[in-house]
């Protein structure tokens, strides 16, 4: 079983498209038809949660949206992941909130990155949407 972490963005990530790409992104276009994304630019993510959250917070502008999803491949390429929209999460990086199917949580304004990294931010069962507005 192989797990892939994918993100979809509304606009391309400029750093990804440079020759000296030091960011942990791979092109995810080969999986585009199998993923539940609504945004056009797809990248496979490499790296940890804290680095990813820090990257998003520094690179996202007001009004930006990024979707995150784990895609697991089973034997013979059959997907093990499902999309259950009722389990989706929304994380607002401007307001520092985390919302799941049960309620919305306010994150600590000083330790929000560490607090967020301890929560489930990626899932093979639903999309996680990061917003900044």
Full pLDDT tens readout for the chain, 133 residues: 678 889 999 888 776 655 555 555 667 777 888 889 999 988 888 767 788 888 889 889 999 999 999 988 777 667 788 889 999 999 999 999 999 999 999 999 999 999 998 898 888 999 999 999 9
What is the domain extent for residue 119?
A: 2-131
Question: 3-state secondary structure string, the chain?
Answer: CEEEEEEEECCCCHHHHCCCCCCCEEECHHHHHHCCCCCCEEEEECCCHHHHHHHHHHHCCCCCEEEEEEEEECHHHCECCCCCHHHCEEEECCCCEEECCCCEEECCCCCHHHHHHCCCCCCCCCCEEEECC
The pTM assigned to this predicted structure is 0.85
pLDDT reported for residue 26: 66
pLDDT reported for residue 103: 94
> What total number of domains does the chain contain?
1
């Amino acid at each position: 079983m192989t797990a892939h972490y994918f993100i979809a963005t509304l606009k391309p990530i400029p750093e990804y498209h440079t020759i000296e790409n030091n960011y942990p992104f791979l092109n995810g276009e080969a999986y585009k038809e199998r993923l539940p994304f609504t945004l056009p630019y797809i990248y496979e993510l490499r790296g940890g949660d804290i680095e990813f959250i820090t990257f998003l917070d520094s690179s996202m502008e007001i009004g930006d949206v990024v979707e995150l999803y784990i895609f697991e491949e089973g034997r013979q390429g059959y997907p093990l992941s499902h999309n259950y929209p009722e389990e989706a999460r929304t994380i607002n990086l401007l307001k520092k909130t985390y919302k799941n199917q049960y309620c919305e949580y306010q994150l600590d304004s000083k330790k929000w990155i560490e607090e967020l990294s301890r929560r489930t931010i990626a899932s093979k069962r639903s999309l996680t949407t990061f917003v900044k507005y």
